[in-house]
Amino acid sequence: MSLLDDIQSVLYPEEDIQRRVREIGAELTEAYAGKAPLVVGVLKGAAPFMADLVRRMDLPLELDYMVVSSYGQATKTSGVVKIIKDLDFEIEGRDVIIVEDIIDTGLTLRYLADLLLRRNPRSLRIVTLLDKPHNRRVDIRPDIVGFVAPDEFVVGYGLDYAEKYRNLPFIGILKSRVYAGRA
């Protein structure tokens, strides 16, 4: 039994992800030269990306994390997201970088960005490893996108199905039998 047995295909191999992470790290290092940004990871999905990315940023940055609840069907239309854990730091006057694993409808990040913008950061930028623009329901434009993803449910490198597969070093698509509960 291996986790790999559940994977139908690999969309983004480990090497491609790591190469893109190095590129984004270099881009951010240049963009924030002379600054000490606060890098905010959205747990749990962004954790692997965040951990790799900040090690490619040569800046005196600080880390913080937010935990938000996945909205239920009822709240999906309103775009209200429950904050389970807020930031530890005040962000007024600071350069803030939100790090996300994936943007789909955009509801989660629109809500988060609006929440943080009300706290008057000096700047707020959004970095997402994957962008699935097909299902977008609100206007949210990430400043940096790792990969534009197809309209498929993906797992790995932080992304889960029923909390599993986050630890895969690549991003892929599951076999349909996994969803059918016959895994």
Q: Where are the alpha helices (DSSP H) in 32-144?
A: 47-54, 73-76, 107-117
Query: Contact at 8 Å (CB) between 56 and 22?
Result: yes
Query: Contact at 8 Å (CB) between 172 and 155?
Result: yes
We find the least distance from the C-beta atom of residue 33 to ligand XMP, in angstroms, to be: 30
Site track 26-65 with ligand XMP (rule: CB under 6 A), x = hit: -------------------x--------------------
List the one residue from 52, 95, 101, 131 that touches ligand XMP (CB under 6 A): 101
Query: Contact at 8 Å (CB) between 98 and 116?
Result: yes
We find the least distance from the C-beta atom of residue 30 to ligand XMP, in angstroms, to be: 27
Residue 5 annotated to the active site: no
Q: How far apart are CA 97 and CA 63, in angstroms?
A: 10
Q: How far apart are CA 34 and CA 32, in angstroms?
A: 6
Instruction: Report the site for Mg ion in 23-62 (rule: CB under 5 A).
Output: 45
Out of 86, 104, 131, 143, pick the active-site residue.
104
Q: How far apart are CA 178 and CA 161, in angstroms?
A: 9
- The residue at minimum Cβ distance from Mg ion is 45
Q: Would you tell me which residues interact with Mg ion (CB under 5 A)? A: 45, 101
List the catalytic residues: 104
Q: Which residues bind ligand XMP (CB under 6 A)?
A: 45, 70, 101-109, 153-155, 159-160
